[in-house]
């Protein structure tokens, strides 16, 4: 009996010790690289002078992807940069229904403006209309509402333009190298999403103008491990390749790992979104990643700045109009080694 209890104490102690060690291991403070418009001093920019207090209600999906995380971080950081802005952030939950409920609560709190990145523009359309009817201007981030009366401002990235930018860069590079009949690979993200289809359409359209086409296309799921699996399959299918477009820099971590594991380097790769890791790799120039086309979460920072202007009834000072415009689509830019330094602060 005593031997048994000693054993129990030993195991129990080991378990408690392991548990203590493990909980110590969850601390995680990655560097904060939020994209903030620092031009918030009143002297340089009259619009930035503190004005009427604006309460901004904010809602974005609780997705576990770097880009969405950057959206939320940027919104919070930009709001903190203004002394006259109070950000009320509500978790959007796991799906459109949960977000509808969250925004209904938000509307009842009567914020000055609502900024939201909907799970799905179509499914949240009615909520947008409801808020607008309640007299709260709605700013739609990235996922458009079908109804014009559901939003005051829509600010989004350009998925089709991203495909065009990637296809144009690849086409120009291959033309410059005089490659005829190049073998081009493509690794999109979740294939059923409209944004993925738009990116692919843009990519194909741009390649067609050079007379090129995609040889093989293996979708991943915006995660690094799915990127690794998709890239491994693609590399196996194309023993020789000239160029590769990977739609998303987050899954690109896995794509680059797979390329290294397969010991391949005969091609060049273009990324998508413009993460900090990707921009660093492009600057260093020691991987196959030579460029990335942006789809920047900085739009969340801009959305907060514009929400403040809308809340205070101001326009954008460089434009003639006295009000903020209704639709803004960010241009997708191509980041290469030459301009990487300039974009480094916009990496997320």
Partner 1 sequence: MITETAPPEVRTDRRRRKLDEGVLRNLGLVGVLIILVIVGIVTKPDLYSDPTWVRNNFLTILQQASAIGVVTVGMTFVIIGGGIDLSVGAIIALAGVWCTTLATQGYGTGGMIFTALAVGIAVGLINGLLISYGKLVPFIATLAMLVAARGLAAQISGKQTQVSANTTINDIASTKLLGIPLLVWILGLVVVAGWVLLNRTTFGRRTVAVGGNPEAARLAGINVKRHTVLLYALSGLCCGIGAIMLTSQATSAQAAMANLYELDAIAAAIIGGTLLSGGRGTIVGALFGVLVFSTITNLFAINNLSTEVQNMVKGAIIVAAVLVQEFRFRSLTQLLKR
With a CB cutoff of 8 Å and minimum separation 6, the contacts of 292 are 249, 270, 271, 272, 273, 274, 275, 278, 279, 282, 334, 335
Candidates 101, 129, 179, 257; binder of partner 1 (CB under 8 A) is 257
The C-alpha atoms of residue 221 and residue 197 are separated, in whole angstroms, by 14
The C-alpha atoms of residue 282 and residue 277 are separated, in whole angstroms, by 9
Candidates 86, 91, 172, 191; binder of partner 1 (CB under 8 A) is 191
168 lies in the binding site for partner 1 (CB under 8 A): no
**For partner 1, which is the closer residue by CB, 201 or 312?**
201
Check if the beta carbon of residue 230 is closer than 8 Å to that of residue 220.
yes
CB of 139 to partner 1, least distance (A): 22
64 lies in the binding site for partner 1 (CB under 8 A): yes
Candidates 1, 4, 24, 322; binder of partner 1 (CB under 8 A) is 24
CB of 220 to partner 1, least distance (A): 10
CA atoms within 13 A on the CB side of 180: 0
Residues 264-283: x where in contact with partner 1 by CB under 8 A, - otherwise, as a string: -------------x------
The C-alpha atoms of residue 264 and residue 239 are separated, in whole angstroms, by 9
12 lies in the binding site for partner 1 (CB under 8 A): no
Residue 243 forms beta bridges with which residues? 184, 268
Would you call 91 helix, strand, or coil by DSSP? Answer: strand
Point out which span in 2-10, 140-148, 231-239, 331-339 binds partner 1 (CB under 8 A): 231-239
**Residue ranges that bind partner 1, judged by CB under 8 A:** 18-19, 21-22, 24-30, 62-66, 68-69, 191, 215-219, 221-229, 232-234, 236-237, 239, 250, 253-254, 256-258, 260-263, 277
């Amino acid at each position: 009996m005593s031997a048994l209890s000693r054993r129990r104490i030993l195991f129990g102690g080991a378990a408690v010790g392991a548990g203590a060690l493990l909980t110590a291991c969850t601390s995680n403070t990655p560097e904060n690289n939020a994209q903030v418009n620092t031009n918030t001093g009143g002297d340089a920019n009259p619009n930035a002078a503190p004005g009427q207090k604006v309460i901004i209600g904010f809602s974005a999906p609780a997705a576990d992807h770097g880009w969405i995380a950057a959206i939320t971080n940027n919104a919070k950081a930009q709001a903190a940069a203004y002394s006259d802005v109070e950000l009320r952030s509500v978790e959007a939950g796991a799906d459109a229904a949960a977000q509808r409920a969250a925004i209904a609560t938000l509307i009842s709190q009567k914020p000055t403006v609502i900024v939201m990145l909907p799970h799905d523009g179509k499914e949240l359309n009615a909520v947008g209309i409801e808020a607008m009817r309640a007299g709260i201007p709605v700013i739609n981030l990235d996922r458009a509402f079908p109804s014009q009366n559901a939003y005051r401002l829509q600010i989004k990235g350009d998925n089709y333009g991203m495909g065009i930018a990637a296809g144009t860069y690849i086409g120009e590079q291959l033309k410059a190298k005089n490659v005829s009949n190049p073998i081009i690979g493509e690794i999109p993200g979740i294939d059923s999403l409209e944004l993925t289809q738009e990116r692919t359409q843009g990519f194909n359209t741009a390649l067609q103008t050079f007379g090129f086409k995609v040889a093989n296309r293996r979708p991943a799921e915006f995660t690094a491990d799915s990127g690794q699996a998709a890239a491994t399959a693609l590399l196996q299918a194309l023993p020789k390749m000239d160029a590769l477009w990977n739609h998303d820099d987050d899954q690109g971590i896995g794509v680059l790992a797979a390329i290294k594991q397969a010991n391949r380097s005969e091609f060049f790769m273009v990324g998508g979104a413009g993460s900090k890791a990707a921009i660093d790799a492009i600057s260093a120039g020691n991987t196959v990643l030579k460029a990335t086309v942006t789809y920047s979460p900085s739009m969340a920072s801009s959305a907060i700045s514009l929400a403040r202007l809308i809340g205070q009834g101001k326009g954008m000072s460089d434009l003639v109009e006295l009000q903020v415009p209704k639709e803004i689509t960010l241009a997708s830019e191509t980041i290469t080694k030459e301009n990487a330094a300039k974009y480094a602060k916009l990496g997320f």
